[in-house]
Amino acid sequence: MTDDRPLVLSLPAPRTLELIFSPEALAKLHRRYEVHEAATLADVPDAALARARYLLGQPPVTEDALARMTALRCVFNVEGNLLDNMPYPRLFERGIHVVTTAQVFALPVAEIGLALALDLLREVTEADLAFREGREVWGLEGNRAARLLSGAEVGMIGYGELGRALHRLLQGFRPRLRVFDPWLPASVIAEAGAEPADLDTVLRQSDVVFVVAAVTSENQRFLGAPAFASMRPGAAFILLSRADVVDFDALIDAVAAGHLRAASDVFPEEPMPRDHRVRGLRGFLRSAHRAGALDLAFRRMGDMVLEDMELLDRGLPPQRCKRAERETVARMRSKPVSAN
């Protein structure tokens, strides 16, 4: 007896369906679709490959397997990183969408990004520590280095989902926001209410710089010692996307020298060595890749997937998840997600 529900191939490892779907959403998925779970595509019988309308996850896909998936409409990547493990050109040729759900992390990361920036400007963590230890300084005297975010000159490197989420959170501060994003036309940035700028201007003219750019084949370690040296003394540098876009040692040197304050949620090694000098570095605020990893964020992935499946079922293009682009998919260089 055949099932006339469309078939979803589910290989979301290292995620699990339970992580990315709420119980209600998972029930809906099973109600609407036949869900075939597998560890690798090699385990999937030809009949299921032939019927698969959606592939949920980012397993390695061979040309051969893809050729057998004749009904495939969309690959739902629920990791956020695009690995180079599928024949993307063929997917795009066939008009099969490749979409990611990474934007669920934009808001949680943006919120902690703002928290880190305000902490650096007002020394919230340092002041709390001093208070614990009985060496707090009261009032104006304890505030000599404090600055406001309102009206500050803010720079953003990258202006994707995360940058936009952060921009929205910053609205009430009415900052002067300059954005460097070489993948966007200047007018798109301007319409969003920011000033398009080159990298050098963003670095030199900002009191606070947020790095929210994805790491690509072109921007690895593009922020190094000269970049940090060009920044304003005392400026705050907040790294939210991937450690690989900066020369981390140079960043640490700039903070150690007292030139910058910095905060980072990402590190060149995760976890960092137990005795790494960043652990005791004054003027540096540390977050152990906790910015996006909220239960609530993962759970939204399943909702997004279901919304786009519903459009695709009706022959419409997906509008909820973000589509990978033929031109840029091969430039992405994030490391695989090893844990959630």
User: What single-letter DSSP state applies at residue 242?
Assistant: -
Q: Does 295 bind its own copies (CB under 8 A)?
A: yes
Query: 167, 212, 216: which is closest to 191 by C-alpha?
Result: 167
Contact assessment for residue 18 and residue 25, using Cβ atoms and an 8 Å cutoff? no
Of 92, 221, 299, 332, the one binding its own copies (CB under 8 A) is 92
Please give the angle made by the CA atoms of 59, 70 and 76, to the nearest 5 degrees: 35
Would you count residue 44 as binding its own copies (CB under 8 A)? no
Q: Is 310 in the site for its own copies (CB under 8 A)?
A: yes
Question: If binding is defined by CB under 8 A, does position 269 make contact with its own copies?
Answer: no
CB 327, min distance to its own copies, A: 5
- DSSP secondary structure letters along 126-182: HHHHHHHTT----GGGGGTT---STT-EEEEE--SHHHHHHHHHHGGG--EEEEE-T
Of these, 26, 127, 256, 332, which contacts its own copies (CB under 8 A)? Answer: 127
Residues 57-76 that bind its own copies (CB under 8 A): none
Judged by CB under 8 A, does residue 190 bind its own copies?
no
CB of 192 to its own copies, least distance (A): 12
Number of residues engaging its own copies in binding (CB under 8 A): 83
**Which one of residues 27, 67, 137, 257 is an interface residue with its own copies (CB under 8 A)?**
137
Separation between Cα atoms, residue 164 and residue 292, nearest integer Å: 15
Q: Please report whether residue 107 would count as binding its own copies according to CB under 8 A.
A: yes
**CB closer to its own copies, 55 vs 266:** 266
Q: Is 188 in the site for its own copies (CB under 8 A)?
A: yes
Give residues 319-338 in contact with its own copies (rule: CB under 8 A): 319-320, 325-328
Q: Check residue 255 for interaction with its own copies (CB under 8 A).
A: no
Closer Cβ to its own copies, 41 or 156, answer by number: 156
112 near its own copies, judged by CB under 8 A = yes
Q: Does 339 bind its own copies (CB under 8 A)?
A: yes
Burial environment of residue 2 by CB neighbours within 10 A (0 to 12, 13 to 18, 19 or more): exposed
E-only strand ranges, the chain = 7-11, 34-37, 52-57, 74-77, 97-100, 153-157, 176-180, 195-196, 208-211, 235-239, 260-264, 284-286, 322-323
